[in-house]
Amino acid sequence: MDLQAALAAHRLVAIVRGDDPEAAIRTVLTLADEGIELIEVSLSGKDALSVIERAREALGPDRPLGAGTVLTAEDARAAQRAGADFVVTPGLGDGIAAARELGLPVLAGVMTPTEILAARPLGVAALKIFPAAEAGGPAYLKALRGPFPHELFVPVGGVDEAAARAYLAAGATAVGVGSPLIGDAADGGSVSALRDRARAFLTVVQEGAP
């Protein structure tokens, strides 16, 4: 898949992580039903690979589906076998090279200018600023865009609706959103409330479109 184009077009990555696999798959399918195109299932969730496999079967071959918290080469290989077509990492680890060898685009986690420079030769599709809130929020992103105006940045971590607006205004290509969007849905919480939050975040990113 063309992850760069997808991030620029959809501007939102939903991050699903839960302790209830049945609720997690229900969460993925609900998000997709609400029109969220980019969904990442974190490998730190319970039975995450099974959730990815079942989501891929339900969504079909053409809907983007990512694996998050990819730390190692084996993580990347397992994610690809499960049906993920992009991977997300918290940092610059061994999972990146393995994913690229498998033909999977990578949203790679970075925090500092040094890490941004280190990511360039790795062939990553875009850069996940993580943890974004602790790094300095939208002001930090705006500062990074000075020396790195052409990088595709995706802030992740503590991104609620207000922060999403601010990051997009500061030049983020997209935002990655976990608990402010997912809430307790992946642990068995309300699907109706999840739908409301999904619609709210879609409105935010649509309003923030250039």
Per-residue pLDDT band at 208 (split at 50, 70, 90) = confident
- What are 47-75's pLDDT values in tens digits? 999 999 999 999 999 999 999 999 999 99
What is the residue whose two structure tokens read 């999977």? 104
Is the peptide bond preceding residue 131 cis, with omega within 30 degrees of 0? yes
Bridge pairing between strands 153-155 and 126-129: parallel
- What are 4-41's pLDDT values in tens digits? 999 999 999 999 999 999 999 999 999 999 999 999 99
Catalytic residue among 22, 115, 128, 142, which? 128
Catalytic residue among 22, 34, 37, 40, which? 40
Is 128 designated active site?
yes
CB 208 within 8 A of CB 164: yes
Would you call 206 exposed, middle or buried from its count of C-beta atoms within 10 A (0-12, 13-18, 19+)? exposed
Q: For residue 41, give the 3-state DSSP assignment.
A: strand
Q: Domains in the chain and their CATH numbers? A: 3-207 (3.20.20.70)
| Nearest to 17, CA basis, from 161, 157, 124 | 157
